[in-house]
Amino acid sequence: MTRRDELLTSEDAGWNQLVALLHRVPEDAWLRPGVNGEWTVKDLIAHIAVWHASATDRLESFRVTGALPPLPAPVDDLNRDHYERNRDLTLNEARAMSGAARHRLREEMALLADDPDERISMLVIGDAHEHYEEHIPQLDAFLGAGS
Q: What is the pLDDT of residues 104-120, one digit of tens each?
A: 999 999 999 999 999 99
Q: Which residues contact 128 (CB under 8 A, 6 or more apart)?
A: 7, 10, 11, 14, 15, 52, 55, 105
Per-residue burial over 5-19, b = 16 or more CB atoms within 10 Å of its CB, e = otherwise: eebbebbeebbeebe
How many domains, in total, are found in the chain? 1
pLDDT confidence of 145, banded at 50, 70, 90?
Answer: confident
- Which CATH number belongs to the domain containing residue 111 in this structure? 1.20.120.450
Compute the distance between CA of residue 147 and CA of residue 139 in angstroms, rounded to an integer. Answer: 10
Q: How much is the pTM?
A: 0.94
Q: What is the pLDDT of residues 43-98, one digit of tens each?
A: 999 999 999 999 999 999 999 999 999 887 889 999 999 999 999 999 999 999 99
pLDDT at position 73 is 81
Q: What is the pLDDT of residues 119-139, one digit of tens each?
A: 999 999 999 999 999 999 999
| Domain interval for residue 89 | 3-144
